[in-house]
Amino acid sequence: MTDEGASLVEVTRHGHVLVVEMRRADKRNAIDRAMADALDRALTLLDEEDDLWVGVLAADGPVFSAGSDLTAGGDYVTETGGEYGVIRRHRTKPLIAAVDGPALGGGFEIVLACDLVVASDAAVFGLPEVAIGLVPTCAGLFRAPRSLPLNLARELALTGDPISCSRAYAAGFVNILAPAGEARSEAVQLAKRICKNAPVAVRASLAAVNEMAAADDEAGWEITDTAKRTITGSADATEGLRAFLEKRAPKWSGR
């Protein structure tokens, strides 16, 4: 990994567990080209190294991830992993999200792309795109209804308001609740529990479950593209982004 990549994404080993930590706290771990490439390399290492059996995706700072860096102009897609180097990756090994702060927009969609979730009291989850005239474009529109009760997924997509970690836990989305500051360590412990089992059997089980769950992904990407086309060039989308950058309330026209 380049020096730049190493500064944005830190990789540490705990036996057979690889911890991948996003380290762009000053930008709320928003993902640009360099960070996407660094995440892609780290997750490729997890996939390809035989001695690594489980991954943990964590984040430095008070925010797990705000998703896309809007200044990147959409330049955060990698050949292997898709958006952020994560969203469209076909992984062979379990990946646990360790969420110790807000995971919003693309940040929540990163969590949705993982296999298990450990979250602390500081975590909240949300899809705030509608608040600025946009729609979730990194699988949130179809992975949220798959991982959460349908009406809760609708609430997230339509209100833009986040939900607490306790509500996400009650809904079955979060596997383990941890005290604030302990999500990463609890996720490593969960990973070590998985590592007690035969890695070939774990990978086969993961592949079977994920293949069934992802059977309708192609349709999901098609409906996401339809939603994107609907808002592209709309007056509301233009106004939403302008209001966001100007730090003011948007004035919607419904067009």
Catalytic residues: 109, 129
Q: How far apart, in whole angstroms, are the C-alpha atoms of residue 156 and residue 141?
A: 10
Q: How far apart, in whole angstroms, are the C-alpha atoms of residue 128 and residue 106?
A: 10
Q: How far apart, in whole angstroms, are the C-alpha atoms of residue 207 and residue 200?
A: 11
66 is written with which tokens? Answer: 């705000």
Q: How far apart, in whole angstroms, are the C-alpha atoms of residue 165 and residue 3?
A: 34
The residues near 211 (Cβ < 8 Å, ≥ 6 apart) are none
103-104 and 124-126: which strand pairing? Answer: parallel
116-120 and 176-178: which strand pairing? Answer: parallel
95-99 and 54-59: which strand pairing? Answer: parallel
Secondary structure element (H or E) that encloses residue 9, with its range: strand 9-14
